[in-house]
Structure 1
């Protein structure tokens, strides 16, 4: 890797860390960058997942105020995410990446629609909300372990219907869950797959800084504005995936 390529990968990590913290879909910055500098697709995907784990942890630290009082909820959802991400990571190693090519843009567009819909909180018991949340985290965990682009967008759009809470607090939960998904997949990949450690390290450094910068400013975005930011970003991401 040349110096220019290293700078490009680190810069992509910075951008991905910031985007993942506020919205999601940061992998759409880092993954193509790794492909552009010459890594094979599976190696790029694996290295990307490993490299983004520190950025997810950094984002969670940046949103620690929003996580107060939510750790029980996070624990429930992390269980679903862990199991799903492990399954998704196994699928990545066993199936061609083209399996999800057709369905991913549809999933992201659906997430945009769900986020655009005005939420009307229903009266459900906590255990029912947690069951729905765990199901959502499990399903998106599979996707996150397999590919992961816009996992945060999809998860946040689902969680806002599971829990009647401020969107910034839901975003904080999303940050932790996506970090868990990347972390579980990363452990699996380190054990059984080829990781481009130089690339992963550059993404890690960039994403840590990017997540902190994004958390500093993103936490103050009004929930309604954040909702429409997610809708717009999700739509753009889906269109990009459809035309590429």
Structure 2
């Protein structure tokens, strides 16, 4: 693979890691580059996922204190187990999907992911308004009681939350792109926890999804010879590890509109390339 392409993938990996740590959807920077240079969709998703594992490793290291606090105050095991099983199922579905089906499915998923990226601020504002309205209606006493319940050990283990996160993790195992946006929306809606806490758990879950999918793809490579472009994975891995760690500290200071604009631009270019 050309050195200029590897350099571009590494640079996009840095940006993707920063974006993943902040809101998710960083793979919409790296995956379209692979598609744009002619890598088949299934190979591109596998190559990208293995590289982007390192983004979530960096993010988890950066959020390690917040994750430890959430683990101490809440029961995360049911959520972690649901994420693991559903992510593995989604990655297996990718492996058994026919190549022609992927040529149709991947552009559709890119569009879905783009819509999620564009709507994420509106979703976040809607959730914030709803929580504020509920707090005002219930009064100060009821608000304190509600916050105590949300801070309790069952905040992350309600059946509705687990079902929604299972569906999101199935999607994440299959495609990985924009899973973090889904996670932030679901976790925020069902727990009411502060964004700092939800984002820490989101990064932990993203690590589980990406690592699970990567293990499945590595096994497929060893057993069936499923193609992976290792040089591209390595370039993405180096960049995304740096970006993921830096992003956990810096991403909140960067203009979200700029990051969102880069995602949209790169993904649209990839769509044009795929559909041409």
* 2:232 paired residue number: 199
1:135 is aligned to 163
Q: Answer whether contact 2:75 2:156 (CA < 8 A) is retained.
A: no
Q: Is the Cα–Cα contact under 8 Å of residues 46 and 189 in structure 1 kept in the other structure?
A: yes
How many angstroms does 1:135 deviate by? 2.0
Distance 1:101 1:129 in 2: 32
Alpha carbons of 1:161 and 1:8: their partners in 2 closer, same or farther (altered >3 Å)? same
- Cα distance, 1:94 vs. partner? 2.4
102-111 or 5-14: bigger deviation? 102-111
1:153 aligns with 2:181: yes
Give the aligned partner of residue 68 of structure 2.
68
Q: 2:141: which partner in 1? A: none
RMSD (CA atoms)? 3.0
Task: Rate the CA distance shift 1:172–1:237 in 2: closer, same or farther, 3 A.
Answer: farther
Unpaired runs of at least 5, structure 1: none
State the match for 2:79 in structure 1.
77
- 1:105 positional shift: 2.2
Offset of 1:178 from its aligned partner? 1.0
Aligned counterpart in structure 1 of residue 197 of structure 2, from 169, 180, 185:
169
TM-score when normalising by structure 1: 0.83
Distance (Å, rounded) in 2 between the aligned partners of 1:113 and 1:163? 18
Aligned residues between the structures: 236
Distance change >3 Å, CA 85–CA 65, structure 1 → 2: same
Q: Which structure has the larger Rg over C-alpha atoms? A: 2
Counterpart position of 2:52: 52
Q: Name which of structure 1's ranges 178-187 and 134-143 shifts more when overlaid on structure 2.
A: 134-143
Structure number with higher helix proportion: 2
What whole-Å deviation, never above 9, does each CA across 1:152-187 have from its counterpart, x for those lacking one?
001101101121221011011101111111111111
Q: How far apart are residue 5 of structure 1 and its match?
A: 1.3
- Report the equivalent of 1:105: 112
Q: What does residue 43 of structure 1 align with? A: 43
